[in-house]
Structure 1
Amino acid sequence: MEEIERKFLVKSDAFKAEAFKQTRICQGFLNTHKSRTVRVRLKGEFGFITVKGISSDDGLSRFEWEKEIPKQEAEALLKLCEPSIIDKLRYEVKVGNHVFEIDQFFGDNDGLVVAEIELGSKNEKFIKPKWLGKEVTGDIKYYNAVLSKQPFSTWAFK
């Protein structure tokens, strides 16, 4: 249940033409303790509850457990979440043997676009598309749990 991923800023919207899927996501956090987060997510017509542990020192991996729950339960749990709710549109783009998930944020995080790629190992090679920008793996200000408390719109220097 270890998740290994790398995170990048996105420097153009060229990925949209390459996307094979897009899904609206609404998510909130029942707990945002630095050692663990508990997330509730509506992803299209599906609900999920996720527990994530503390990140490794390099920010590449952490424990993750996720379970699908009924949409109605996710909607009810979102009402119990800490402020504020994350609203984003997720694009999925296949590049080589991998799929990038690109999140375009709205609301208080409008203007932020972040790409993630999940890997099988920390040293796994992957193709970097031209629209991929600066790597921000391990930079906690780009974690959704932090964006819910310190949204992109409040950052002094973006």
Structure 2
Amino acid sequence: MIEIERKFLVSSLNFKNEAVSRTFIAQGFLTTEPERTVRVRVKGEQGYLTVKGISNVSGTSRREWEFEIPKTEAMDLLGLCPSVLEKNRFEVPVGSHLYEVDEFLGANAGLVLAEIELESEEEVFQRPNWLGKEVTGDVRYYNSQLSLSPYSEWGQTS
């Protein structure tokens, strides 16, 4: 399957007033090589194993396979990961799309990112007033990279 996604910084917490759900997520990476990342995730009461291929030049598209696994197995696999990211995910409907807004915790606290999945790279979508700068394709904001180089360690250069 091809995932087409754009990613943005969030400029205000006003999205919380529009959110229809909030879920705690813990995730880690068994491998973070650019050609293939293998993610383990616990989202609520469900576990997932996800394999992602390398992104295209713009960073908007890549192959992705996701499999639901028992939560107990996902928890065991998280124990194999060098670090575990934690975040609260808010689902925010805007127009005909759903934004997933991640408010990071721990070493990535202070970072809030919004993602939108699209049917094509050219698809038009509504931009809510809380949506900030686009960071699609900036590898620093990939969850796999945030697990290696947390936001709190970026300093004032970001």
TM-score by length of 2: 0.98
State the 1:69 CA deviation: 0.2
List per-residue Cα deviations over 1:35-74 (Å, max 9, x = no partner): 1100000000000000000000011100000000000000
Q: Distance between the aligned counterparts of 1:34 and 1:56, measured in 2?
A: 11
Is residue 127 of structure 1 aligned with residue 133 of structure 2? no
Tell me which residue corresponds to 2:86.
87
State the 1:34 CA deviation: 1.5
State the 1:120 CA deviation: 0.2
Is residue 36 of structure 1 aligned with residue 47 of structure 2? no
Is residue 11 of structure 1 aligned with residue 5 of structure 2? no
Coordinate RMSD, CA, aligned? 0.5
Give ranges in structure 2 of 5+ residues lacking alignment: none
Tell me which residue corresponds to 1:74.
74
State the 1:109 CA deviation: 0.2
Is residue 21 of structure 1 aligned with residue 21 of structure 2? yes
Paired residue type of 2:21: K
State the 1:31 CA deviation: 0.7
Please give the secondary structure, in 1, of the residue aligned with 2:148: coil
Paired residue type of 1:65: W
Count of aligned pairs between the two proteins:
157
Give 1:140-151 correspondences, 5 Å limit.
Answer: 140-151=139-150
Which stretches of structure 1, 4 residues or longer, exceed 3 Å deviation after superposition? Answer: none
Paired residue type of 1:100: Y
Please give the secondary structure, in 2, of the residue aligned with 1:63: strand
State the 1:88 CA deviation: 0.1
Tell me which residue corresponds to 2:97.
98
State the 1:84 CA deviation: 1.4
Please give the secondary structure, in 2, of the residue aligned with 1:102: strand
Q: Distance between the aligned counterparts of 1:36 and 1:137, measured in 2?
A: 18
Please give the secondary structure, in 1, of the residue aligned with 2:59: coil
Tell me which residue corresponds to 1:45.
45
TM-score by length of 1: 0.98
Q: Distance between the aligned counterparts of 1:12 and 1:103, measured in 2?
A: 13
Tell me which residue corresponds to 1:139.
138
Q: Distance between the aligned counterparts of 1:103 and 1:84, measured in 2?
A: 18
Give ranges in structure 1 of 5+ residues lacking alignment: none
